[in-house]
């Protein structure tokens, strides 16, 4: 039986209202604690943030500055590594839809595998 843990994340869009996320210990055991925390933030954001319907999928957007607010104890390089690793494992999708302004926003979505773990 896996134990549920609760984490409060800073909300980059509203610092006064943190996001509440739950994660199971089996997810942390399977992915490692840092990846589990980042995946759970992405999943929670898909539930409560403004989503964008693009190319038939739902996405939320986030900047490097937002990730630094959300995870102040991790370097932006570490967050980028964790996100890329989750993408390579097939748990999340990351895209840049605006080819004219690619430096601003990246869009994030959760795959079926990402919801299932």
Total number of domains constituting the chain: 1
Which has the closest alpha carbon to 59: 69, 71, 49, 73?
A: 49
How many beta carbons lie within 10 A of that of residue 58, not counting itself?
12
Reported as a single tens digit per residue, the pLDDT across 32-57 is 989 998 998 899 888 877 888 888 88
For residue 107, the enclosing domain spans 4-116
How far is Cα 33 from Cα 23, in angstroms, rounded to an integer? 10
Reported as a single tens digit per residue, the pLDDT across 66-99 is 898 888 888 999 999 999 999 999 999 999 877 6
CATH at residue 96: 1.10.10
The single-letter DSSP state of residue 18 is P
The model's pTM is 0.79
């Amino acid at each position: 039986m896996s134990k549920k843990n609760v984490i409060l994340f800073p909300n980059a869009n509203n610092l006064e209202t943190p996001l509440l996320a739950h994660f199971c210990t089996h997810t942390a055991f399977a992915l490692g604690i840092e990846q589990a925390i980042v995946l759970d933030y992405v999943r929670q954001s898909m539930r409560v943030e403004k989503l964008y319907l693009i190319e038939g999928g739902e996405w939320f957007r986030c900047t490097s500055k937002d990730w630094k607010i959300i995870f102040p104890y991790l370097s932006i390089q570490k967050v980028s590594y964790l996100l890329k690793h989750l993408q390579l494992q097939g748990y999340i999708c990351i895209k840049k839809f605006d080819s004219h302004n690619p430096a601003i926003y990246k869009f994030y979505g959760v795959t079926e595998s990402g919801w299932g773990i």
